[in-house]
């Protein structure tokens, strides 16, 4: 059994995956995007394909600015999806 090493740090992997997902519309297919981006970062296309097809790690969080979070919560409240708790000072959770 051979040992594998992680040649690329998690930040590089995350950015490469994000780049593929953001730019796949500019290519004929997802595979074409993978081929293009893997050449730029210097990894094999099947490796990048594996990264793209893996579910995101639990530690990876995509965060929104606070103003966007508040706008989403306000819209949910206005649409009746989020209900106001009479004990809370505000319908927003923060």
Top-confidence residue, 25 or 5: 25
pLDDT of residue 46: 95
Sequence-distant (6+) residues with CB within 8 A of 47 are 38
CB 70 within 8 A of CB 35: no
Q: CATH 1.10.10.10: which residues of the chain?
A: 10-53
Q: Does the structure show a pLDDT above 60 at 25?
A: yes
State the CB neighbour count (10 A cutoff) for residue 21. Answer: 12
Tell me 85's DSSP state: P
Phi, psi of 91 (to 5 degrees): -75, -10
Cα dihedral across residues 26, 31, 35, 38: positive or negative: positive
Tell whether pTM > 0.85.
no
* Residues 31-84: tens digit of each pLDDT: 999 999 999 999 999 999 999 988 766 545 556 677 777 777 777 777 766 555
At the topology level, CATH places domain 10-53 in: Arc Repressor Mutant, subunit A (1.10.10)
């Amino acid at each position: 059994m051979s040992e594998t090493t992680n040649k690329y740090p998690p930040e590089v992997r995350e950015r490469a995956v994000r780049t593929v997902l953001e730019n796949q519309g500019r290519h004929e297919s997802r595979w074409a995007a993978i081929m293009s981006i893997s050449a730029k970062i210097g990894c094999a296309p099947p490796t990048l394909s594996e990264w793209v097809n893996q579910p995101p790690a639990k530690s990876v969080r995509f965060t929104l600015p606070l103003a966007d979070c508040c706008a989403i919560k306000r819209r949910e409240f206005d649409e009746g999806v989020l209900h106001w708790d009479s004990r809370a000072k505000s319908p927003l959770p923060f």
